[in-house]
Amino acid sequence: MADVHTDAATQFKTSLAKLMEILMSKEPSYVRCIKPNDASKQTLTLTLDLTPGRFDEVLIRHQVKYLGLMENLRVRRAGFAYRRRYEAFLERYKSLCPDTWPSWQGRQVDGVSTLVKHLGYKPEEYKLGRSKIFIRFPKTLFATEDALETRKHSLATQLQAGWKGYSQKSKFRKLKHSAIVIQAWWRGILARRRAQRRRQAANTIRRFIKGFIHRHQERCPENEYFLDYVRYSFLMKLHRSLPRTVLDKSWPTPPAALTQASEQLRKLCMQNLVWSYCKNISSEWRHQMEQKMVASEIFKDKKDNYPQSVPKLFVGTRLSGDEINPKVLQALGNEKMKYAVPVTKYDRKGYRARPRQMLLTASSVIIVEEAKLKQRIEYTALKGISVSSLSDGVFVLHVPSDDNKQKGDVVLQSEHIIETLTKVAICSDKVNSININQGSIKFSVSQGKEGIIDFTSGSEMLVAKAKNGHLSVTAPRLNSR
C-alpha cells in the first residue's frame, strides 16, 4: 500500500511540475468578468446590437466595487495607462512624421523618439523603456489617433494619386512603345521604298548611259531602252507642239529611227488640219480659197504684184447690173454672167486705148463697148493667155488666126489682173494655158502679122507706142515681191 501511495504522489508532483512549467512559459493576464444579470441572458447579440433592459445596474455596481476594479483604474490612471512595443507603435504611427515615413532606417527607439517629438509630446506625457513606450494620459493617445485618422485621408489620396500616376504612366509607356513600334515599322517601309527607288533610278541611269554609248548600233539589249526613250520623248514633244493651224509649218526634228514615221505623222496631221479647216468653213469662203489656190498656182513667185493681191479677197463681179447696158444683158439672153470687170483695150494698129467691159459667161469671154458685143471668144477657141512678170495689168488673149470671126489676139489691161485672169482660167478651164513672160510678148495682129509688147520697169505705170512700132509698157517697181 505504501508503494501505491508513493507512486500516486510521484505522478502528482510530476504533473504539477509540468503544469507550472507550462504556466511559467506563458504571459499571464488577469481577466475579470462581470455578470450583467441573474437571468443568464445574452446582452450582446451576434449583430452587435445592444438592447436596453438586460443590464442589472445594481448587480454590476456591486461586482465592480467588490472586485476592486475602481482601485485598479485609479492605479492605472496614476501611472501610465498605455504601453506598446516600439515596433508596433512605430509601424502604426510612422506616417505622422515625414522623417519616419515611409520607412525608418535605424534603431526603433530612435524612430519612436523622433516620431513623438514631431507629434509634440511633452516629457511628462510619455516615457521610453527598454522595448516599449509608455503614455500617461489617454487624451494624448486619442489626439494621436485623431491625427492618424486625418492622415489616413491624405494617405489614401496620395495612394490614389500614386496608383493613378502609375496606371497612366504604364498606359503611356505602352502607347509610347506601340507608337515607337509603328514608327519604326513605317520608317522601315519608307526606307525600303526609298532604297528601291534609288536602285531603280541607278539602274535607269545605267541603262540610259549604256544605250547612249551604243545608240548608233542596231537595236540590241544594250541600247533598246535608250532608243525607246528617245522615241517616247519625241512623241511626247510632238504631242505638246503639234501645229494648231494649217499655216503653222513647224515640226520637231525627229531622231534617225523615226524619220519615216515622223513624215507620215506630219502628213496625217496636216491632212487632219486641212480636213478640220475645210469642214468648218462656209461655202463662200471655200469658193474664195479655191480661187486663191488657183491664183497661187499660176502667179506665185512669177508675177511681181501677186503678193499684194494675196490679202485682198476676190469679189464676185467688178460691175453691178446698173453699170452694164441693158441691151447687153438682153443680148446675152439666157447666158448667166459669172464675172464682169472694166478693162482697157488696145487697138492692134496704133495701140490706141479704148475703155471696154469684159464679161465672163459659162462658155465665152465677151468684150463689150457700151451697148454692143464687140467680140466673143469661145473658151474652146482660146489658145492661151500671156502676161508679163512685172506689176503691170496688161495681158493678151490668144485666138486662132485662121478663124474668120476673130480679127486677131486681144490686148487688154485690168487694174485687177490677178483676180481677172484667175476668173478666166477657172471659167475656161485653162489654168495651164497662162504664160508668164519676161521682157516681151508676141501677139497676132492679123493673119500673117505679129505685134510685140515690150515690158520694162520704171517709176510709174505707162503704156504707149514706142518708136520701133512696139507697144511699150513701163511697170512701177514694188518694194517687195
pLDDT in tens, 135-160: 877 788 888 888 888 888 888 888 89
pLDDT in tens, 41-75: 554 443 334 445 577 888 888 888 887 777 666 66
pLDDT in tens, 151-209: 888 888 888 999 999 999 999 999 999 999 999 999 999 999 999 999 999 998 998 89
Does 2 score more than 60 pLDDT? no
Q: Nearest-CA neighbor of 369 among 380, 353, 385, 351?
A: 353
Does this chain's domain 81-213 share its CATH topology with 307-436? no
Does 481 score more than 70 pLDDT? no
pLDDT value of position 220: 87
pLDDT in tens, 458-474: 888 888 888 888 888 98
pLDDT in tens, 225-282: 888 888 888 889 988 888 888 888 888 888 887 888 899 999 999 999 888 888 888 8
CATH architecture of 307-436: Roll (2.30)
d(CA 21, CA 25): 6
pLDDT value of position 218: 83
pLDDT value of position 469: 83
User: Residue ranges per domain, the chain?
Assistant: 81-213, 224-280, 307-436
CATH class of the domain defined by 81-213: alpha beta
The more confidently predicted of residues 419 and 22 is 419
What the block records as the C-alpha cell of 307 is 503678193
To the nearest whole percent, how much of the chain has pLDDT over 90?
24
